[in-house]
Amino acid sequence: MVNVHNQLDEGLRAACQIIQKQMKHFDGDANNRYILECLELALSITEGNMSIAKTRQRARRAVQISVEDVMHLSQMANQVGSASYIAKYTIMEIIQAASVAKCGLRERNIVSSIWALAASNVFAVEHARQAYADVIEGLQIVKRFFDTGGKTLSLERTMRGSWEKIKHHSKKHLDIFDPADIDPSHEWFDLIIWNSDFGEGKFLLGQVDATIRLSVRMHHWVDTLKQPLESPVKKILNYCKDMISTGDSWLAARCMMTLADALMELKHWDLGAKIHHDIPLQTKIDINHPICIHSKHQEAYCSLMLGKPENCHAIIQSMETEFMEKMAEFIITYSAEKARHIALKDMCRRRYGMNTSGDAREQIDILMQNVQSITSADPRNRSEHLYNLFVGVLNRDLILMLSDA
């Protein structure tokens, strides 16, 4: 054991020296101050001044680094890796966290892949598993909403194969998406927060990535591990109630919406409906806010999928739509919810065996021209990724509602 510790100490000392040397290249230039801040965070890990968890949280929320700088630092980490695996690993711990906040899906996947390899090289096996999980979540988002050529399948197999090669070094021999503890609720709740974006106006947009990533974890829990969802869902809702009791109703509403939408991705309509129903009641958020409008629409859709068109009709009829109609002319999220509203009414009438208005598709097409204006053909930053994913999820949902027989 002494020899192992000595080797680790020597590795940390070498990593410190390498990181300090890299920092000299950026010192004194105001344009490089965020690169320097990232390297300082990496240095604080090797010097034992800050935990990895704290430094990653700071990089996720506080460092205003650009996408270009993230990619530059990733290349730098690869270069220093030949001299010190630990230096590469500590830099990538910070850069991957920063990539969550700043990068598009493709760039985040690239950075997480480098992080996975760096963690594997220093036998930080649990961190390697987190990295591989992050990459595969990203690939599944691409496969589900963007990729029509099937290219992601081979990449996913490669990532899973890489994990299998080092899996035996972990104490528990966990699969990539296995929770670290028997109870996954705390881990899932942390992932909701980690993948949520809290910028101004990002209430629905800021949760869409977190929703799909959570659904990937839940699918593994149900489909592979054959475990029920009720218990972890109940515990996550208790965490949300604790937030409400301490005055953080907005974050609680975001987390509840993410949880409910993720359950709907798995077709757990009953659980999803109950949570969406409770969001306005428990959080006391204005009924005209996009979160509450979205929750009403999702509850109505769940009712239809549960074979209760009368409930869907009652929910739609109870909604005050004047404010939504007005704001849909100016704000994308209201335009999106107006499109949902029209599609739901049309679907509900068909389920009742009633005639539809006949112009639902035309109305939705006009609204979607406005909504789709926020998309990007080459989404390199986080906002562009969130916009594209938001529209991708909405398009899929509208197609399903309008094609429902």
**Mean pLDDT taken over the chain:** 91
Position 32 scores a pLDDT of 87
d(C-alpha 193, C-alpha 214), whole Å: 11
Residue 319 identity = M
Residues whose CB falls within 8 Å of the CB of residue 42, separated by 6 or more in sequence, listed in order = 19, 55, 87, 90, 91, 93, 94
Helices (H), 67-150: 67-80, 85-102, 105-121, 125-145
d(C-alpha 232, C-alpha 189), whole Å: 10
Query: What would the two tokens of residue 176 be?
Result: 């990539």
- C-alpha torsion sign, points 269, 402, 258, 280: negative
- Angle, alpha carbons 246-249-254 (nearest 5°): 130
- C-alpha torsion sign, points 48, 49, 50, 55: negative
Tens of pLDDT, residue by residue over 269-303, are 999 999 999 999 999 999 999 999 999 999 999 99
SS3 sequence of 272-339: HHHHHHHHHHHHCCCCCCHHHHHHHHHHHHHHHHCCCHHHHHHHHHHCCCHHHHHHCCCCHHHHHHHH
- C-alpha torsion sign, points 131, 136, 142, 145: negative
Alpha carbon of residue 345 to chain centroid: 30
Alpha carbon of residue 13 to chain centroid: 35
Position 11 scores a pLDDT of 78
pLDDT in tens, the chain (405 residues): 334 334 446 778 888 999 999 999 888 777 788 999 999 999 999 988 889 999 999 999 999 899 999 999 999 999 998 889 999 999 999 999 999 999 999 999 999 999 999 999 999 999 999 999 999 999 999 999 987 667 788 889 999 999 999 998 888 889 999 999 999 999 999 999 999 998 766 678 889 999 999 999 999 999 999 999 999 999 999 999 999 999 999 999 999 999 999 999 999 999 999 999 999 999 999 999 999 999 999 999 999 999 999 999 999 999 999 999 999 999 999 999 999 999 999 998 888 777 666 788 999 999 999 999 999 999 999 999 999 999 999 999 999 999 875
Position 376 scores a pLDDT of 94
Residues in the chain: 405
Position 9 scores a pLDDT of 64
DSSP 161-209: HHHHHHGGGSSS---TTS-SSS--HHHHHHHHHHT---STT-TTGGGHH
